[in-house]
Structure 1
Amino acid sequence: MRLRYIFLISILLTISAHLSAQNDRQLVRIGNRFFYEQNYAKAEIEYRKAIASNGGNTQAIYNLGCALQAQKKDSAAIKQYELAGKIETNKIRKSKSYHNIGVICQSHQMYKEAIEAYKESLRNNPADNETRYNYVLCKRLQKNQKNQNDKQQNKDDNKDKKNKDKKQENKDNQQQKQQQSNEQMSKDNAEQLLNAAIQEEKATQQRLKKSMQKPQKRNLDKNW
């Protein structure tokens, strides 16, 4: 009786798993229909349902990445492609996940990340000429980007140097003007002091001159 009970449970679990597998595959097919109709939002919903039903359905995960990418949800799409690439065992399908990551990164001029994704794609499918072409193209674009960045950096450095030189020149000119102003003030003060000394000397000479005048002669009485 006990063995029969265990056997029935085993059958029910098998049927349940089979129905679950049918369910997630069916949801993927529905999602695919919406995707080809370019109804990407509804496709996304169906793929998410499929993943909720079976978290290991790599086709649903990959297709969800495609639906998100079609809606310009690039960051979310990359996460799904990374997950699909991580758990996918089929090398061809794995390579497609990394190829799509490369395409997204390339579109955002993230050439370093794109190159790494394309390299991973080629490791799994070396015969993919489209991926190889994109890889070579990104290498060239990365080099051009670096040259452009270096050129811009040199331009910015030269601009900063010119600004610093200009500020230093203005500072030196200001100091020179201040020094000339101080020298002029010192010269004016010296002239004022000299004039004051001359005037004081004249006044002193006048006072001395007055004090040295001869006294008036007195008439002497005649001797009668």
Structure 2
Amino acid sequence: MKFCLLILSFLWLVDPDVSVVNQHKKAAEKAFMNQKYETAISNYTYLMDSLNVREPEVMLNLAHSYYHTKNMEKAAGMYENLGNIEDTKIRAIANHQRGYMAASEKKYDEALAFFKKALMADPSNDETRYNYEMVKKLLKDQQQNEEKKDQKKEEEKKEEEKKEQQQKDEQKKQEQQQQEKEQQKQENGQKNEDQQSGQDQQDKEKQKPEDTEKQKQGEEKEKQPQNKDGQNNSEEENKKLQDQKMQQMRQQRLQKMNMSEEKANMILNAMRNNEVQYYQQMQKKPTKKKNSGKPDW
């Protein structure tokens, strides 16, 4: 770098514009080395915009200055302009920086592509190779994590669908149970109506014999003799009435036979005495001998 400055100083002696360029280059380089990046940006911008300097080293230092001041958009634009130049050294540095910036944002696919491009420009850069392997591992882990997340989402989705299906099944089961209860309630109501109807029919059938029996009893009651008041006579009164009827019938027969009651009683007593004597004689008669084999005479 000192050798380059010496050459620029020598050229200033030849061309005044060269001396102005070298002056701003020196001021920009000094500010950059002292980490005064705003001053470095001012000088490098003047060199490029006002003095039309397009040297890769100036553009690279300007890109670094933007990076250190957190102006990532302009830094990325400068690095992108240097990503395909012929100078392999600067091309490797520019792509390395772009890869590092992408990796910082966890854009591992882009970072891996930039680091690979930097290694193609400068295979001897161990730092780039290390970052390449590191990002490669991070990308693999990221893909695995994404697969796990996708799998987890899928499992959660299936679990949610399962819960929804269970809820639908439970709701359907409850509705079915409710329908069965309503149906059972209707069947029980119909059954109770049938039972009540059957019970009423049985009660009517039971009442028929009772009514018939009551009717018979009423008829028999009507056949029984009644007193003057129209009420049925008692058993004793009925017996007296029957005896009176029998006495009347006997008197009527005696009248037909022209026989008095006294004479009829005498004849009846005589007949009773003859009957008693007959039974007495039958008791005195000897019994037959057992196993005699002969007639009683």
Deviations 1:59-93 (A, max 9, x none): 3322222122212333432221011223x332211
- How far apart are the structure 2 equivalents of 1:135 and 1:51? 33
Counterparts in 2 of 1:194 and 1:27: CA distance versus 1, 3 Å: farther
> Is 2:122 the counterpart of 1:137?
no
Q: Mean Cα displacement is larger for which, 173-182 or 143-152?
A: 143-152
Q: Normalized against structure 2, the TM-score is what?
A: 0.56
Q: Which has the larger radius of gyration?
A: 2
Give the conservation status (yes or no) of the 8 Å contact 1:48–1:60. Answer: no
> Is 2:81 the counterpart of 1:79?
no
Aligned to 1:146: 143
Counterparts in 2 of 1:204 and 1:91: CA distance versus 1, 3 Å: same
Counterparts in 2 of 1:201 and 1:80: CA distance versus 1, 3 Å: same
Pairwise CA distance, 1:186: 1.0
Q: Which structure 1 residue ranges, 5 or more long, are not aligned?
A: 1-17, 220-224
Q: Mean Cα displacement is larger for which, 102-111 or 70-79?
A: 70-79
Calculate the aligned-residue CA RMSD, in Å: 3.2
> Is 2:49 the counterpart of 1:46?
no
Match of 2:171 among 166, 171, 174: 174
- Give the letter for the 2:110 counterpart: E
- How far apart are the structure 2 equivalents of 1:168 and 1:155? 19
Pairwise CA distance, 1:146: 1.8
- Give the letter for the 2:61 counterpart: N
- How many pairs does the alignment contain? 201
Q: Which structure 2 residue ranges, 5 or more long, are not aligned?
A: 1-14, 223-297
Counterparts in 2 of 1:205 and 1:159: CA distance versus 1, 3 Å: same
Give the conservation status (yes or no) of the 8 Å contact 1:105–1:113. Answer: yes
> Is 2:157 the counterpart of 1:160?
yes
Aligned to 1:5: none
Pairwise CA distance, 1:49: 2.8
Counterparts in 2 of 1:149 and 1:206: CA distance versus 1, 3 Å: same
* 1:72 aligned counterpart, secondary structure: coil
Match of 1:35 among 23, 32, 36: 32
Of structures 1 and 2, the one scoring higher in RCO (CA 8 A, sep 6+) is: 1
Pairwise CA distance, 1:114: 1.5
